[in-house]
Structure 1
Amino acid sequence: MAENKTVPTAASVDEFLAAVEHPGRRADGFELLDLMHGATGQEAVMWGPSIVGFGSYHYRYATGREGEAAAVGFSPRKANLALYGLTYGPDAGMHLEALGKHRTGAACLYINRLADIDRTVLEAMIRSGYQHVMAELHRP
């Protein structure tokens, strides 16, 4: 079975974000770093070469594939900001309605820039997504 390529690394989160080419995306990345740290209480860790993650959990699929993943995180991509773990909470749908300009994928929330969304709603989604993932881990 293939190994998961998205694993925690010792790479510097600050150096990664400082190297983001687009100045607006770079600034949004540093703001997300502070927002996610504050909402989760977790230190940021690089997962693979391009995901900034907070907290972690162990997963196991019915196929037998298992591994570790960031509880919540983000990646400042060229086209948009990809946010992970924020759409899993039970109140995610309600928050998405109030968030502002965004789109969703299979497991991601995509926004073009933080100026397009309500940061208070985003913070609530980060907190809720993180708490939901962590609660799922500790269920008997």
Structure 2
Amino acid sequence: MTKYEQKTKETDNSVIEFIETVESSKKREDAYKLLEIFEETSGFQAKMWGPSIIGFGSYHYKYESGHEGDAPLVGFSPRKAKISLYFATGDTEREKIMERFGKHTSGKACVYINKLADVDEDVLRELIQQSIAFLKKMYP
């Protein structure tokens, strides 16, 4: 059996250099603000994960299937269409908090926002803390 090669790994690439490549100046501005919020709230320094995810902290996961790897505890990516926010998956607490978050859409692991002004920053901080607490409990 071939070992699954994890696509998104922590790299030594510069977070600032990456943010500077974001085309939209408004999105770039939001990315710097998010960087500040995530670092402050998580207590972790930002690291690049793969080519486009800015992650904070990390944890090692192992699924029942035997698949395992490392991932950031929380993160975000200022993508062309929307800004993706990465929180823990499978956390039922998150659903309740999301109700107060503001204008967003949700995928399996991501929450998508158009701009930071659309959401409540205090609720964002709460989501970051909740996600980290959830993952630390699940993967001690």
Q: Which bracket does the TM-score occupy, shorter chain normalised?
A: over 0.9
Q: Distance in 2 between matches of 1:13 and 1:26?
A: 12
The alignment-based identity, stated in percent, is: 45
Q: What is the DSSP-based 3-state SS (H/G/I as helix, E as strand, rest coil) of the residue aligned with 1:78? A: coil
8 Å CA contact 1:86, 1:109 repeated in 2: no
Matches within 5 A, 1:6-85: 6-85=8-87
Aligned to 1:95: 97
Q: Distance in 2 between matches of 1:52 and 1:123?
A: 16
Q: Distance in 2 between matches of 1:87 and 1:101?
A: 20
Q: Distance in 1 between matches of 2:29 and 2:89?
A: 23
- Kindly state the Cα deviation for residue 60 of structure 1 after the two structures are TM-superposed: 1.3
The structure 2 residue matched to 1:121, chosen from 123, 132, 139, is 123
Q: Distance in 1 between matches of 2:20 and 2:58?
A: 24
Q: Distance in 1 between matches of 2:33 and 2:42?
A: 14
- Kindly state the Cα deviation for residue 88 of structure 1 after the two structures are TM-superposed: 4.8
Q: What do the CA deviations read for 1:55-92 (whole angstroms, capped 9, x no partner)?
A: 10111122221110011000100010101115654431
Deviating above 6 A after TM superposition, structure 1's stretches of 4 or more consecutive aligned residues are none
Structure 2 stretches lacking a partner, 5+ long: none
8 Å CA contact 2:88, 2:134 repeated in 1: no
8 Å CA contact 2:10, 2:50 repeated in 1: yes
Q: What do the CA deviations read for 1:16-61 (whole angstroms, capped 9, x no partner)?
A: 0111111111111111100000111000000000000001011112
Matches within 5 A, 1:126-137: 126-137=128-139
TM-score by length of 2: 0.93
Q: What is the DSSP-based 3-state SS (H/G/I as helix, E as strand, rest coil) of the residue aligned with 1:30? A: helix
TM-score by length of 1: 0.93
Q: What is the DSSP-based 3-state SS (H/G/I as helix, E as strand, rest coil) of the residue aligned with 2:73? A: strand
User: 1:118 and 1:86, CA in 2 relative to 1: closer, same or farther beyond 3 A?
Assistant: farther
8 Å CA contact 2:12, 2:48 repeated in 1: yes
**Superposition CA RMSD, Å:** 1.3
Aligned residue type for 1:73: G
Structure 1 stretches lacking a partner, 5+ long: none
